[in-house]
Amino acid sequence: MTQFRNPVLPGSHPDPSVCRAGPDYYLVTSTFEYFPGLPIYHSRDLVHWRPAGHVLDRPSQLPLQGVRASGGLYAPTIRHHDGVFYVVCTLVGGTRESGNFVVTATDPEGPWSEPHWLPEAPGFDPSLFFDDDGRAWWTATREVRDGRTEVYLREFDVRSLSLVGEEHVLFRGAMHDAVWAEAPHLYKVDGRYVLLCAEGGTDFEHSVVVAFADEVTGPYRGSKLNPVLTHRHLGRSYPVAATGHADLVCTQHGQWYAVLLATRPYGGYYYNLGRETFLVPVSWENGGPVFSPGTGRLESSYPVPDLLVHPWSEPLQTDDFDAPELDAAWMFLRTPEEEFWSLTERPGHPRLRVRPESITELVTPSVVVRRQQHQNFHASCVLEFEPAGPAEAAGMVLLQNNDNHFRLLLGAGREVTLVRRAGGREEVLGKTQVAEGTVRLGFEAVGQDHQALVASGSGEWQLLGESFDGRVLSTPVAGGFTGVHIGLYATGDGAPSDTWADFDSFTYRALGEAPR
């Protein structure tokens, strides 16, 4: 292997942060309203990443109940110092707890501590910096007015996990009338302090900017080369957009790389996969970082880092649910306060309890989802379900948020219905009857052209309704900060129930895309 392909983490993996501990690299990304929160990925070569658990995997750690779509966990930072891993993050819009917090672990695969909330730390997008004199520093962003922000710094006491000492305002943006100077990360390179920030918002105008200081508290001066990375000048037809929110890491061999987010629009300026994690080489000239030397653009491929290539086993295309716990790819919508699923009552079949909650509400419905990670994909499930009431239904969802999604559900009378919900308004796109017994349900997409599939037992797939446009699931249409999630769902649509839906398997695979 001489080249690697971007993105290194496809699908909704925004706001990446990375650290190195010896030969091992660990990366976290935002998860917003999904539980468990903040996936940990592990790599030995910066290219191949394996799931290594989640930072917040206990309900006590993550109060997401009632959080709005694209609320919840924003922009974590992971750091390693003196044998301890630290993650700092912001919970936005919480109905129980909100604000900035820190969690710690001696093993990045867990267990992680309960959150230590920091009411003295305003703003969002926090980061930690451990200086070579033993002191630690906290940086974060706060809004001043109308998207104008400022980056501030305070000392961080690692013993009490609290902010101490005087506050210093470091930066208000590189560009004239800059908005959303955020995601600040501090580094020390060749004796000088380097402040790396995102700027311009998280969509098309996104960028990376840098400032420098001789003292950690400043003053910081922006580089004459700012922005040091952006794609906004390349136009909306360019295949990669919205580059920004970078974090730097130096390998054990002295090479520098950045992880950052970007989008891959398709079918026009629409990106159903959300913001994904990319890797880019970085060199240093005159004390400043040069992203993607030689091109200045985030490329689809680069030479592999000077590290021993270390691939992991590829995930199976079909999950037969034979393990005692759900695979790390699966997530819940907000924090479950009761176990509405079971992998033990009928081994090999995840059971979802039919409950009144619906994915159209800001609740925790009976749904488990995983990220869409390819523009062309097939996703399907095998379902056994006998509704006991007229409103009971179970099947699959293509979920952007509560007001923008597609539902393919088996309901009363053995009727399978395809429903589009766009902007909160619903339309039935197709119906069909299926025979008693097992039913298979599926979605396929080639670009923005989607179709729903139905089969009775082991029979042939049948198209349900006409092909439909998936752009309603893209962030430019639906809003928010997440990509599409695909999953299994059961609901009584407001009515209580004692019924369960049994899913025998779930298959997800890419269609017609080159292997990674």
Which residues are catalytically annotated?
15, 182
Q: What is the DSSP letter of 241?
A: E
Q: Environment class of residue 122 by beta-carbon count within 10 Å: exposed (0-12), middle (13-18) or buried (19+)?
A: middle
Count the alpha carbons within 13 Å of 135 in the hemisphere toward its beta carbon.
Answer: 13
Query: Which H or E run includes 258?
Result: strand 256-263
For 343-457, strand residue ranges (E) read 351-353, 366-371, 376-384, 393-401, 404-411, 415-422, 425-433, 439-446, 449-456
Is the bond preceding residue 111 a cis peptide, omega within 30 degrees? Answer: yes
With CA atoms as reference, report the closest residue to 141 among 82, 90, 97.
Answer: 90
What is the rounded distance in angstroms from the CA atom of residue 146 to the CA atom of residue 359? 32
What is the rounded distance in angstroms from the CA atom of residue 47 to the CA atom of residue 50? 10
Amino acid at position 511, single letter: L
What is the rounded distance in angstroms from the CA atom of residue 442 to the CA atom of residue 381? 6
For residue 5, the cross-strand partners are 301
Which three-class secondary structure state does DSSP give residue 234?
A: helix
Alpha helices by DSSP H, 346-453: none
Residue 419 CA from chain centroid, whole number: 26
Q: Environment class of residue 495 by beta-carbon count within 10 Å: exposed (0-12), middle (13-18) or buried (19+)?
A: middle
Q: What are phi and psi of 230, to 5 degrees?
A: -165, 155
* Sign of the Cα pseudo-torsion (467, 469, 472, 474, in order): positive
Q: Label residue 230 left, alpha or beta by phi (over 0 means left) and psi (-120 to 50 means alpha).
A: beta
**Is residue 277 within 8 Å of residue 263, measured between CB atoms?**
no
**DSSP output for 469-482:** E-GGGSHHHH-SS-
What is the rounded distance in angstroms from the CA atom of residue 379 to the CA atom of residue 121? 43
Token duo for residue 154: 């305070």
